[in-house]
Structure 1
């Protein structure tokens, strides 16, 4: 039996101490990790995030072994099509949108897809690297040298996302090919975590030996630090192991299929 790259994971989504409902969704499996965060202030964020997570995970499970970057890009566009259908079916959903951060491996090649500001990090040999790049107004201003890191952290506009998966525009995710190695540890999380925890804190907590302990401590630390948002955390170790049939854990709003626009419409993509 061939040995391939896979993820061993622990994952949790918490409504938090301020919000009354969870608009985060996620999925963690041996080949796919993803977090989707319904855009704050928009209608039906839980519908957008749950539908997007459902589409991406369904694609990954239906097409094992396909080129990860291309599959994630196609899935993001299909999620957009589902949100278009969702708004057409219920105009009260107008404006719904979500972030998407996903890591997919075919066992050899791995890719990150990024839309919005949910983040992905890599811990390798004790050093933490942020893999994703926030698609926010504040990040654009920071990249252009118009504000400092300190000003960015305090900006009232730091949650204004410049790109999202919605019903208005076909998304073009940033795709980054990843050179993952056995022994790497990945963290995917919503901004309910990164709004309140520094990179140094994440590095320390992610370095805990047990994945379950790292997940629990990151969620607890975010809540104790005053996070006012939903908190979703996936901690995954990269391993070499014999190939297995993929399944996974659904998180947050994605657990309730009533939040998915049309599960029956998600069928295998012939072009994948």
Structure 2
């Protein structure tokens, strides 16, 4: 199979926070967002550890699911080994997509730990590909609360799985075929906490290129209040050819 043509972009905003504990990676074949937690220093360091572990997988046309899992496990161990009171309790979520080859040519591996999300836009439809590892999601799944009440639930920010804290986490990974014209969006909960899926769909499907799309998404989240850091990475599949892209400054 010839190389997959990709176009990508990324943008981040501090929002109402004092600093930015989100980090992102937009370097083929991996596109991911990490949302750090546990204090200004610790959260940023945890997110950076994940991004750097995933960065080791870049530079080629594809990676593997095993390599992704090993990179996340390595980052998890590094975060747990952090020293000093300013890094106590540090952890991070991660969500992203990567082109992998498991023996049958390129596929997308959609992976995540925590409540950062991956969406897919294709043929006029936005689908959430990840399921939040959160208390609210468990309440939703059990039928105890409704979608309407989830957005304002007092425990909406409590996650049940993260790298660096709690039980050793296992990333959820789903494989999808590569399809021309599809667009993937990885984002921290700073975006989904401010914009509904309908609002995100309207912006992703507005016909703008990926660079303008991520800029619009972060801008709209800021206009809505941006109580948290907002980070978005988008990647679009074109036709067989050469990969190109751009990334906005942090």
Q: Tell me the SS of whatever aligns to 1:28.
A: strand
Deviations 1:142-179 (A, max 9, x none): 01111111121110110101000015543210111122
Matches within 5 A, 1:63-212: 65-67=62-64, 69-87=65-83, 90-106=84-100, 108-209=106-207, 210-212=209-211
Query: Kindly tell me: are residues 212 and 187 of structure 1, through their superposed partners in 2, closer, same or farther at Cα, counting changes over 3 Å?
Result: same
Deviations 1:100-155 (A, max 9, x none): 00211036122011100011100001100001111000001101111111121110
Could you tell me which residue of structure 1 aligns to residue 22 of structure 2?
Answer: 24
Structure 1 contact 6–30 (Cα < 8 Å) conserved = no
Could you tell me which residue of structure 2 aligns to residue 9 of structure 1?
Answer: 8
Over aligned residues, Cα RMSD in angstroms? 2.3
What number of residue pairs does the alignment pair up? Answer: 245
Which stretches in structure 2 are left out of the alignment for 5+ residues?
none
Deviations 1:3-25 (A, max 9, x none): 22243101111112x11100000
Query: Kindly tell me: are residues 134 and 224 of structure 1, through their superposed partners in 2, closer, same or farther at Cα, counting changes over 3 Å?
Result: same
CA distance in structure 2 between the partners assigned to 1:119 and 1:251 by the alignment: 21
Cα deviation, residue 44, structure 1: 1.2
- Partner residue of 1:61 out of 58, 61, 64: 58
Query: Kindly tell me: are residues 251 and 86 of structure 1, through their superposed partners in 2, closer, same or farther at Cα, counting changes over 3 Å?
Result: farther
Q: Tell me the SS of whatever aligns to 2:232.
A: strand
Could you tell me which residue of structure 1 aligns to residue 37 of structure 2?
Answer: 39
Q: Tell me the SS of whatever aligns to 2:191.
A: helix
Structure 2 contact 29–60 (Cα < 8 Å) conserved = no
TM-score for the superposition, normalised by structure 2? 0.90
Structure 2 contact 46–91 (Cα < 8 Å) conserved = yes
Deviations 1:5-49 (A, max 9, x none): 243101111112x11100000011231100000126686100100
Query: Kindly tell me: are residues 62 and 214 of structure 1, through their superposed partners in 2, closer, same or farther at Cα, counting changes over 3 Å?
Result: closer
Query: Kindly tell me: are residues 71 and 243 of structure 1, through their superposed partners in 2, closer, same or farther at Cα, counting changes over 3 Å?
Result: farther
| Worse overlay, 116-125 or 33-42 | 33-42
Cα deviation, residue 188, structure 1: 1.0
Which one has a larger percent helix, Structure 1 or Structure 2? Answer: 1
Q: Tell me the SS of whatever aligns to 1:143.
A: helix
| Worse overlay, 73-82 or 90-99 | 90-99
CA distance in structure 1 between the partners assigned to 2:29 and 2:214 by the alignment: 19
Q: Tell me the SS of whatever aligns to 2:78.
A: helix
